[in-house]
Chains A and B, each alone.
Chain A
Amino acid sequence: MPRTPAGPHPFQRRLLKEYQGLVKANLPGITMVQHADTMSEYIFRIQVQHNPLYPENDRYYLSVRITREYPVDSPQVQFIKYEELDDEEASEAKIPIHPHIYSNGHICLNLLGDDWTPACSVESVLLSVQSLLGTNQVLERPPDNDSYVRHAPLNPKLTKFTYHDDDV
């Protein structure tokens, strides 16, 4: 497929519609804290509700980058250590502990890999990540966290995750 680095995104209209949707959506516990003018980069703040493992005032920051291949290909999504200037809890910003989330912020989620289809959206990713945390039962890192983080590529999309179990 031709790769044109410059110029508007081939699916500009879709990006615009999604952006407008995200501004309007008002998802509980999810706030857009930053976005690029091109509507292809976002940072969201995620709070987990109704899970005692994650206190409600803990804030996690999720970076979403829309690639040129979006929506045919999934966006690049990962947790980041983000410092918001006017946020009291800024120093608390951290990567949530979860059996499918590596300490470098990479998330092993099948929606971001095999299960992605062009009909999924940034909103469906946000909801799925929030529910990943909301339904978690154990506070631990993936078993291969150390070795993965040491050799992981910068872009999580370059990792071929194997989805061990779908119950968590």
Chain B
Amino acid sequence: MSDSDDHDEDHEYQSFEFESDYEDEYFDNQSENSSSSTRSHNERVSPSKTSTSFNEWTLPKFILTVFLDKYQKLKDSKLGGCTDDDLLILLHYKRWQADEVINDFFDNPKKLFEQAGLPVPPQKSANHLKSTTSFDCSVCCESYKQVMVYELSCSHRYCLFCYHHYIYNELSTGKLIHCIQPDCALTIPHGDIDKIFDIVEHDSSIIKITKPLNENRLLVASAKIFVDSQSTYKWCPAPDCKGFTELVSSATFDEATLDYKDISIIPIVRCAESHEFCFSCNYENHLPCPCWVVKKWIKKCQDDSETINWIDANTSACPNCLSSIEKNGGCNHMTCKKCHHEFCWVCLGNWSEHNNSYYKCNKFEQDMSEIEMKKSKSRLTLQRYLHFYKRFTIHESSMQGDLKVLKQINNVAVMYLESRRKDSSVTSLAWSDIQFLPDAIRALSNGRKTLKWTYCFAYYLMDSNFQEIFESNQDYLNRTVEDLSEIFEKITTTSTKGDSDIVKLIMKNKTKIINLSNTISLRQKTLIDGAYHNLKEGLMKFDA
């Protein structure tokens, strides 16, 4: 069973289990939850020797571990006269430093409560969320015959719509939210915020399910702000991914020293949804390329790729200064705007030798070896770039294809399990019987990612004998990736034909799929390790 699926299942189980009573049961399961998502970090595609360690997070898990753990601790210490809502507000106010709350509480409870926006004991919080008749709201200036209003202990009442608007706007700060009245410092409890949203955003006739506390809107907003503000936390750059990662330790990573040769210090991390990315440049796992090569490559591709083909096809270089010229008129007598060199478009020869034959070039076999050499050199550079760029993009688009296959394969997996259950010869059946399929897809797409970046790597590599070794490693990986890809292609095209066919096909290929995906991971590792060693020893160099 893969860890990510494991995690998902836990999650569903949680939200199901804790809908009714979220608080206490959460913490009983916390240890289980964290153990399930802690996995060996060796799985990452990175050089065998790496000093990067990290934690994978999701917002609910983060809130549970970083915020609510303190809350539980404080609840156990039983501060006199505090309700659970009060404790949460006090902790939020003190930036989740439970010790500070306890110290201040015993030091000067009155001051602490006042600062956090709570009614000072012995006065209790008396917040009301109720329906009322004939109410004039002083914010929207509407007169309501019947409306829901909210008030804190201060009795400043506003209609629920205004409160909803107001809280929606304030949430972005991630700080505690106070009464609308400008000079009133009372704080709205976390639970009430969710209640107000639920009532306004959903039809009140629908039975509402209380969100678990680790999905509380204010806590989520607050956690987001926290992640944004900390340099040791980064959001996963994959599209639509909600995971983020905390860098625990990594080799000292100085972007200024661009010519470092040790690719093992590149902080490749993974998010809770199994996306690998580089913590330094916030790009996907780009091994074996160092970050600076990636940056250069991306910039080059953005600058060039769109236009370069067009330029190549439609322009000609000025024979004198080599700047690209597009001919948009009829006359073949060209004058370069840059160097004012006059030449013939057809033969690229000097115009002065053309006499008066304006529209036709009848000159033949000029000695243009020098021009040709310059031209062919620039064309060669271009062709070299296009060679690598094409392969880079092919793998990129294939990766997107793989993702589609991954979605389809989940259906196939269910189908496969169904048919196996019907088969009386199979006695025990587990999800792990089918797990090899998504695992293989993941291996395939990781392999492609590495392969993709090897083309960027190779483009910047200086010629050497070790380049050949690298290329043969690249070739091996390429072949395995394509072999596996082909099998999946067969499976997904068969899936339209019928259940039995596809199950047979999978059964037939099971060992092959497992072997191929293992080989991919192995070859990927060999390639990256090889690149790491050769770069480190100075056997391979980048042509900066």
* Assembled-state Cα–Cα distance A13/B136 (Å): 12
Judge whether A1 and B166 touch: CB under 8 Å: no
Contact A117 B180 (CB under 8 A): yes
In contact, B180 and A119 (Cβ under 8 angstroms):
yes
Establish whether residues A119 and B182, one from each chain, have CB atoms under 8 Å apart when the complex forms.
Answer: yes
Chain A residues 114 to 162 lying within 8 A of chain B, measured CB to CB, are 114-115, 117-120, 124
A71 contacts B by Cβ under 8 Å: yes
A124 adjacent to B139 (CB under 8 Å)? no
Contact partner of A117 among B140, B173, B181, CB < 8 A? B181
A72 interfacial contact with B, CB 8 Å: yes
How far is it, in angstroms, between the C-alpha of A161 and the C-alpha of B158 when the chains are bound?
Answer: 29
Least CB distance, A39 to chain B, in whole angstroms = 12
Min CB gap B69→A, angstroms: 29
In the complex, the answer to whether A118 meets B165 with C-beta atoms within 8 Å is yes
Smallest distance from the beta carbon of B152 to chain A beta carbons, Å? 13
B178 surroundings in chain A (CB, below 8 A): 117
Bound Cα distance A129, B140 (Å)? 24
Say yes or no for B141: interface residue by CB 8 A criterion: yes
- Are A115's CB and B141's CB within 8 A? no
A164 at the interface (CB under 8 A from B): no
Residue with the highest number of chain A CB atoms closer than 10 Å, among B141, B168, B181:
B141
The answer, yes or no, to whether A69 is at the interface (CB within 8 Å) is yes
Cβ contact within 8 Å between B142 and A13: yes
Q: Could you count the A-B residue pairs with CB atoms below 8 Å apart for me: how many are there?
A: 45
Q: Which of A44-102 contact B (CB under 8 A)?
A: 69, 71-73
Q: Is A24 an interface residue (CB 8 A)?
A: no
Shortest distance between the CB of B296 and any CB in chain A (Å): 29
Q: Are A120 and B168 in contact (CB under 8 A)?
A: no
Which residues of the partner chain A approach B142 to less than 8 Å between Cβ atoms?
A: 13
Residues of A within 8 A of B168 (CB): 1, 72
Decide: A11 and B140 in contact? CB cutoff 8 A.
Answer: yes
B143 (CB) vs chain A CBs: closest residue = A13
For chain A, what secondary structure do more than half of its interface residues adopt (helix, strand, loop), or is it mixed? loop
Contact call B169/A119, Cβ cutoff below 8 A:
no
Chain A residues with CB under 8 A of B434: none
Q: Find chain B residues with CB under 8 A from A118 CB.
A: 139, 158, 162, 165-166, 180
Residues of A within 8 A of B156 (CB): 119
Q: Say yes or no for B138: interface residue by CB 8 A criterion.
A: yes
Q: Which of A71, A115, A120, A124 has the most CB of B within 10 A?
A: A71
In the bound assembly, the distance between CA atoms of A116 and B280 in angstroms comes to: 38
Contact A13 B180 (CB under 8 A): no
A13-B141 contact, Cβ under 8 Å, with A72-B166, A73-B169, A117-B166: yes
- Complex contacts, B162 vs chain A, CB 8 Å: 72, 118
B139 engages A14 (CB within 8 Å): yes
Interface 1/0 per residue, A1-40 and B, CB below 8 Å: 1000000000101101100000000000000000000000
Chain B, Cβ-Cβ closest to A118: B139
**A120, B182: Cβ atoms closer than 8 Å:** yes
* CA distance in complex: A114, B173 (Å): 9
A1-B165 contact, Cβ under 8 Å, with A11-B140, A13-B142: yes
For B180, the chain A residues whose CB sits under 8 A away are 117-119
Once the chains are docked, how many angstroms separate the CA of A14 from the CA of B137?
10
Q: Which of A16, A17, A71, A119 has the most CB of B within 10 A?
A: A119
Q: Tell which of B140, B158, B169, B173 touches A14, judged by Cβ atoms closer than 8 Å.
A: B140
Please indicate the chain A residues that have their CB under 8 angstroms from the CB of B139 in the complex.
11, 14, 71, 118-119
Bound CA–CA A1/B161 (angstroms) = 13
Q: Which residues of A contact B140 (CB under 8 A)?
A: 11, 13-14, 71
Minimal beta-carbon separation of A103 from chain B (angstroms): 29
Q: How far is B166's CA from A117's CA once the two chains are assembled, in angstroms?
A: 8
Nearest CB in chain B to that of A16: its residue:
B141
In the docked arrangement, what's the CA distance between A73 and B172, Å?
A: 12
Indicate with 1 or 0, residue by residue over B134-151, a CB within 8 angstroms of chain A CB atoms.
000011111000000000
For A72, the chain B residues whose CB sits under 8 A away are 162, 165-166, 168-169
A11 touches B182 (CB 8 A): no
CA A115 to CA B178, docked complex, whole Å: 10
Which residues in B have their C-beta under 8 angstroms from that of A115?
182
A132–B182 alpha-carbon span in the complex (Å) = 18
Is B182 touching A17 in the complex (CB atoms < 8 A)?
no
Q: How far is the CA of A87 from the CA of B531 in the complex (A)?
A: 78
CB-CB < 8 A to B173: which residues of A?
A: 114
In the bound complex, CA of A69 to CA of B172 (Å): 14
| Bound CA span A114–B172, Å | 12
Contact B169 A69 (CB under 8 A): yes
Central interface residue in A11, A69, A71, A117, by most chain B CB within 10 Å: A117
A16 to B182, CA, bound (A): 21
Kindly state the separation between the CA atoms of A1 and B139 in the bound complex, as whole angstroms.
18
**Cβ distance B172 to chain A, nearest Cβ, rounded Å:** 11
> In the assembly, what is the distance between CA of A104 and CA of B288, in Å?
51
- Inter-subunit contact B166/A17 (CB<8 Å): no
* Beta-carbon contact of A119 and B138 below 8 Å: yes
4 extra interface residue pairs, beta carbon distance < 8 Å, beyond A72-B168, A119-B180: A11-B140, A13-B141, A16-B141, A117-B182
23 examples of A-B residue contacts, CB within 8 angstroms: A1-B165, A1-B168, A11-B139, A11-B140, A11-B141, A13-B140, A13-B141, A13-B142, A14-B139, A69-B169, A71-B139, A73-B169, A115-B182, A117-B166, A117-B178, A117-B180, A118-B139, A118-B165, A119-B139, A119-B156, A119-B158, A119-B180, A120-B182
Q: Which 5 A-B pairs have the closest CB atoms?
A: A14-B141, A118-B139, A72-B165, A13-B141, A17-B141
